[in-house]
Amino acid sequence: MTLLLACKKSGTASADALDKDTSYAMGMLLARQLSESGFENLEYDYDSFKQGFKDFNEAAETRLSWDQAIEKINVFITQFQAKENEKMWLEGEKNREAGEAYLAENGKRGGVFTTYSGLQYEVITEGSGEKPGPNDLVQVHYEGTLLDGTVFDSSYERGQPIEFGLNMVIPGWTEGVQLMTEGSTYRLFIPSDLAYGPGGAGPIPPNSTLIFKVELISILR
């Protein structure tokens, strides 16, 4: 909305009158900016929406003062955020329960080991190099998936391994990579409390159990 509100309103007819398609495009722009701000799938009273836009844009007398309008918007945002938080909590609880059920069954498979923290791992290839320490810098290739198989991040797809300090990543990585020797490839099954927890992160939903294929290329000291 910054672009639209930055345009100076005028009480007189403008020589810069917009044609139908451009006016329509400006409406699309406003709708997109609202959507990208998190206000999706709202059911507007379009007559009131149009009238409010028209009155303010033409410097006409508005039905609400600016302070009243801001108060209305703030009340709506508070209520909207409360509903979103509830939805996120419910989604998180569903994901947490699904993750716990998955790990309970996965831990019964041969070749899957469970640590004291609840982290599970499976050796795909065992290397012969050294093991990193908790503060070491490492170079790895990896692919991360959700329980439904959705790939949310992959250095393999980018064609470039990454380097990071083991004290700068999620606890499941810090612990799991220290179990590996250079040249190893493991599959890590990381409970949500060792991953991104109830907040999630980007494409990762709240309380998601994550599965990573990790190849420890080298320890960089």
Catalytic pick from 53, 153, 164, 193? 153
Choice among 196, 204, 211, 217 that is catalytic = 196
Active-site choice (142, 186, 217, 219): 142
Could you say which of 102, 164, 170, 193 is catalytic?
A: 170
196 among known catalytic residues: yes
Q: What is the residue whose two structure tokens read 């990208």?
A: 36
Are residues 121 and 113 in contact, defined by beta-carbon separation less than 8 angstroms?
yes
Mark whether 73 is an active-site residue. no
Catalytic site positions:
142, 152-153, 170, 196, 212
